[in-house]
Structure 1
Amino acid sequence: MNTFLSTLKSRNRVLYFACWVCLVGTVSCLVLIGLTQTQILGINSFIKPAKFFISIAIFCWSMGWFTGLLPQRRQVTIYSWVVVTAMLIELVIITGQAAMGKLSHFNITSSFDARLFDIMGIAITVLTCWTAYIAYLFFRMRPDTIDLSYLWGIRLGLLVFVVFAFEGFVMAIRLSHTVGASDGGPGLPGTNWSTQYGDLRIAHFFGMHALQLIPLFGYYVARRPFQVVLFVAGYVGFVTFLLTEALSGKPLLAGWGN
């Protein structure tokens, strides 16, 4: 673990420290969950910020690790600060709204809440476009100092991440992540994914975590690039299935945990 952390720090100091800030935020939210009784959609209001803090921490460490392999250091530095800025905007709004007992996403009950939602959307759009540019740099990268299967894992992991990050716009347009009912109601423990109706967050989750899973497959499992391509084809098929099931109003695990 120490070797991993020291290597990560040397590759991208900005995202290395950003992750530690997010982990502190995660712990703070967990403490607040135990201290507060405020609920949003039937769960403690600080559960959502806690999940976003830990998710962004994983994203920062992942992109810090990958971008350390790129020779374009100026672009990497700019990208790192784009990540920090966009994620700071997201976390401040999500945590602030939670503290007030209000929804952060899909909340247009007042002009102020609507503007906050718009700002988050703009921040994520800018970040996703910049991440697509980082993917482009990896597609241009020559495999002189990196295993080709691993390189293709990073390339395709980034590409799938970008595609399913934009899938979030489906939820934004609908102003809801549940298909067939209003948001809220019975859900899986931890994730709160609906056990009664379609939930667009599931495909969004698995699609975006391709950023970690596909490069890991390329590094530890694949011996040839075509194996990575086959894995990605199956993975995208699986996530697309989750998306179509959600859009048709079907839950991932009907009635589980009810």
Structure 2
Amino acid sequence: MMEFIQEIKNRNEVLFYFGQVCLWFGVVFLLLSAISSLKIYGISAWYKPFKFAISLGVYSWTMAWYCHYLPNFNLSLFNWTVVVLWSFELIYITLQASKGQLSHYNLSTPVYTILYGLMAIAATVVTLYTAYVGFLFFKNDFPMLPTYYLWAIRLGIVLFVIFSFEGFAMGSRLNHSVGALNDNSNLWIIAWSKTVGDLRVAHFIGMHALQILPILSFYFLKDTKLTIELALIYGLLSISTLIQALQGKSFLKSFS
């Protein structure tokens, strides 16, 4: 593990250190969720910044790893776009959590409305930039990479982009639930609804194809056909959870 972490640092120090900071903040937010009484929609106000900090940290380390393979890529521009925009998102989410107020879906004042809109713009820019990285992986040849691993990266990015934009289904509704108002369960940090449809499920599953597909392909499948089949199955799983949520049905209730 230490060799892997050192390799991330060697490949991209900027995203390595930014990701590290995000992950450490995630630990702090987790501790705050245990000691703070602040709640939003029935769960700790610190769950959201925790989840975002971990997610942004993992994304940063993942892209630090992948972008290293790209020839003639403006790494500095990508790095600082990610750092600036993700920092804005995490800082605003954290400030709102510290006040026990919503960051997402908060249109209660003109200032909050503008900041919420800026978060949407920031997420859109990073997602489109990630899509451009995916385009470069399709456009260029990478003879030093196993074909199955290359396809896992390509398809992982495709699913990440699609289900990142699925977040607009929540933003347009100002609600992550279908059948209730921002319903959460007491399922520790994940907090997906146990009673109604939850659009966060597909968002989470689809976006983390960015890490899951390449890991499974590189270490276990080691086959291009199996990698593509896995990506199709994974994509169908993500779509099915989205359809289920839109029908107002709980993903978690399916297993109870």
- TM over 0.5: same fold? yes
2:230 match: 231
Between the aligned partners of 1:256 and 1:114, the Cα distance in structure 2 is 37
Q: Which residue of 1 aligns with 2:71?
A: 71
Q: What is the CA–CA distance in structure 1 between the aligned matches of 2:103 and 2:39, rounded to whole Å? A: 13
Which structure 2 residues correspond to residues 28-177 of structure 1 after superposition, within 5 A? 28-73=28-73, 75-177=74-176
Shift of 1:255: 8.8
Partner Cα distance (2:186, 2:241) in 1: 16
SS at 1:205 equivalent: helix
Q: Which residue of structure 1 lines up, in the alignment, with residue 15 of structure 2?
A: 15
**1:40-62 deviation line (CA, Å, top 9, x unaligned):** 11111111111111111111111
Structure 1 stretches of 4+ moved >6 Å: none
State the shift of 1:136 in Å: 0.8
Q: Is the 8 A contact 1:8 1:61 kept in 2?
A: yes
Unaligned stretches of 5+ residues in structure 1: none
RMSD: 1.5
Aligned residues: 256
Mapped to 2, the partners of 1:18 and 1:251 lie a distance apart of: 35
Q: What TM-score, normalized to structure 2?
A: 0.95
Distance 1:109 1:215 in 2: 41
The answer to whether the Cα contact below 8 Å between 1:39 and 1:45 also exists between their aligned partners in 2 is: yes
Per-residue deviation, residues 163-184 of structure 1 (Å, max 9, x unmatched):
1100001111111000011113
1:25-74 alpha-carbon deviations (Å, 9 max, x no partner):
1122123223421111111111111111111111111111111111224x
Cα–Cα, structure 1 residues 100 and 256, in superposed 2: closer, same or farther, change >3 Å?
Answer: farther
Q: Distance in 1 between matches of 2:76 and 2:165?
A: 24
Distance in 2 of aligned mates of 1:222 and 1:34: 39
Aligned-partner residue type, residue 145 of structure 1 = M
Displacement after TM superposition at 1:137 (Å): 0.9
Structure 2 counterpart of 1:245? 244
Q: Identity of paired residues, percent?
A: 39
CA distance in 1, matches of 2:184, 2:59: 29
Residue 203 of structure 2 is matched in structure 1 by 204
List gaps (5 residues or longer) in structure 2. none
Task: Report deviation, 1:188.
Answer: 2.7
* Alpha-carbon distance in 1 for matches of 2:220, 2:40: 42
What CA distance in whole angstroms lies between the structure 2 residues aligned with 1:117 and 1:145? 42
2:183–2:196 CA contact under 8 A, matched in 1: no
Q: Is the 8 A contact 2:19 2:60 kept in 1?
A: yes
Are residues 185 and 17 of structure 1, via their aligned partners in 2, closer, same or farther at CA, if it must alter by over 3 Å? closer
C-alpha distance after superposition, 1:170-214 (max 9, x if no partner):
111111000011113434332100000000000000000000011
TM-score normalized by structure 1?
0.95
